[in-house]
Amino acid sequence: MLFCDNKSVGRTPCLIPVTWEDGWPVFGEQGKLPQRMPIPMTEKQSSSLIVNSDEFHSDTGTVGLVWQWNHNPDNEHWSLTERPGYLRLRNGKICTNLEDA
């Protein structure tokens, strides 16, 4: 597994082929990472993409698993109940420069 930099998404894990030469791992194919790589599937697995929509109507006050945070969320700064049917997000602090963000 390798971590790829995906701009605002952050570092996402990527599976890449690995071979061994003289006891050392060699990543990729011919010194390069493949742009696409087929992944064999069994009958029980699915290759379908995650497709979802959300009307933000939740009895539990939580968002579905399809939603991700790039850090542990501060539950004081988001809500599904303040305006039912909407996800309300607030910044935790106002930063005056990029290094403090």
pLDDT single digits (tens) 4-25: 888 877 888 888 888 899 999 9
Confidence of residue 76 (pLDDT cuts 50, 70, 90): very high
pLDDT of residue 24: 94
pLDDT of residue 48: 64
pTM for the whole thing? 0.47
Give the mean pLDDT of 69-78: 84
Angle in degrees, CA 3, 8, 89, rounded to 5: 130
Residue 51 has pLDDT above 70, yes or no: yes
The total of other beta-carbon atoms located within 10 Å of residue 80's CB is 19
For residue 59, which amino acid is it? D
